[in-house]
Amino acid sequence: MTAWYVQREHEELGPLKPAELLSLVRDGNVLAETMVRKDDSPWFAASEVGGLFEAARRPTIEHYCPHCEDVRVASPPATCPKCDRILAKTRQRIIEHSVGTSKSSLGVSNGPTASARRWLQRRMGRDLS
């Protein structure tokens, strides 16, 4: 299976499965300019990965056992881990995705939020823009 790596600041995140890389794109932790690499290849911009951002925007289908409440299962045929039934059909939920635009969950700060900035301005009596 393909292993992906993401460069953030001075460290390397990975190995990541393709689904994990898509999740980082959806969360805004991997942007077009983020450096990534596949297996042992050289680093390159994520925008050069053909179809990555398009795939991240595509809807996905989650499958649930129709006999149990909110028990997620694989696509049919599948066996429910809770009730042990073999499922030919599942309850489906379509998940719409968008591509995030911030790096906040990787620990990169864009500075204080507007409300925090106003509070600091009142406390310190100066402009923090």
**Is the model's pLDDT at 119 over the cut of 70?**
no
- Structure tokens of 99? 């591509």
Q: Do 26 and 49 lie in a common domain? A: yes
Q: What is the pLDDT of residue 128?
A: 47
Grade residue 97 by pLDDT with cuts at 50, 70 and 90.
confident
**Centroid of chain to Cα 117:** 28
Q: Do 32 and 67 lie in a common domain? A: no
Phi-psi region of 123 (alpha: psi -120 to 50; beta: other; left: phi over 0): alpha
**Is the model's pLDDT at 116 over the cut of 80?**
no
What's the rounded Cα separation, in Å, for the pair 114 and 43?
36
For 6-43, the pLDDT digits (tens) are: 998 889 999 999 999 999 999 999 999 999 999 999 99
Query: What's the mean pLDDT in 84-92?
Result: 96
Cβ distance 24 to 52 under 8 Å?
Answer: no
Q: Which residue has the tokens 């990555």?
A: 52
Nearest Cα neighbor of 57 from 102, 22, 16, 29 is: 22
Nearest Cα neighbor of 14 from 109, 26, 1, 58 is: 1
Q: Look at 58 and 102; give whichever has higher pLDDT.
A: 58
Q: What is the pLDDT of residue 126?
A: 52
Q: Do 84 and 121 lie in a common domain? A: no
Mean pLDDT of all residues in the chain? 85
Q: What is the pLDDT of residue 107?
A: 42
CATH of the domain at 25: 3.30.1490
Q: What is the pLDDT of residue 114?
A: 57
Looking at the structure of the chain, the number of domains it has is 2
Cβ distance 65 to 87 under 8 Å?
Answer: yes
Domain that holds residue 92: 59-96
Each as own residue / partner, the long-range contacts of residues 9-15 (CB below 8 Å, 24 or more positions apart, any chain) are: 9/108
